[in-house]
Every structure is written in C-alpha cells, then in structure tokens.
C-alpha cells in the first residue's frame, strides 16, 4: 500500500465529497463500469437507491459506496482521484 501525507489524504477526501455533490450521471456510470467487475448491477442498485432516497443521487451514491467491499471502495476512490478534477 502506498503511503501518503496527511495533506494528500485531505485533498483526496475533499475530492471525494466534491465528486459526490457535483457528479453527472454519465460519470457515475462510467466509474462503476470501469472500476468494478459488476458495473451494470451496481448502476441498477444505485438507481434504486436514488429513487428510495427521493431521487437524491448523492445520498444514493453514498449508500452504495458504503455497501461496496473494500476492494471496490478502493477502486472507486482511485477512479475519482484519477478522473475527477472538481
């Protein structure tokens, strides 16, 4: 595992929350397809979470992220840090 500084960790955390609050749906679909082995299933799950959260995509995405295993969480975080420049 790569060691990062506290400043780098803070920037990555901020970037994650910016993504959660400013994403577009195409980015989420691309992210789930590119960095997980079951993208279509996760997109379907995310869509149902969005509906159950009153069409709130951010809450649905946070809920989905919390249910991913640690390997997929790491893949999602890496994808966000490599692709989202919010």
Distance, in Å, from the CA atom of 8 to the CA atom of 77, rounded to the nearest integer, reads 13
3-state SS, 34-79, equals HHCCCHHHHHHHHHHHHHHCCCCHHHHHHHHHHHCCHHHHHHHHHH
Domain spans of the chain?
38-86
Output DSSP code: residue 4.
-
Distance, in Å, from the CA atom of 74 to the CA atom of 47, rounded to the nearest integer, reads 21
What pLDDT, in 10s, does the model give residues 6-15?
A: 999 999 999 9
What pLDDT, in 10s, does the model give residues 31-86?
A: 999 988 888 899 898 888 888 878 688 888 898 999 999 999 999 999 999 999 87
Model pTM?
0.83
- Sequence-distant (6+) residues with CB within 8 A of 20 are 58, 61, 62
């Amino acid at each position: 595992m790569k060691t990062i500084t506290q400043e780098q960790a803070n920037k990555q955390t901020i970037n994650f929350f910016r993504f959660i609050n400013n994403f577009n749906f195409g980015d989420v679909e691309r992210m789930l397809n590119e960095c997980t082995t079951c993208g279509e299933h996760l997109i379907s799950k995310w869509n149902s979470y969005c509906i159950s959260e009153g069409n709130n995509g951010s809450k649905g995405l946070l809920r989905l992220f919390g249910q991913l295993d640690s390997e997929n969480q790491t893949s999602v975080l890496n994808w966000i840090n490599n692709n989202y420049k919010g």
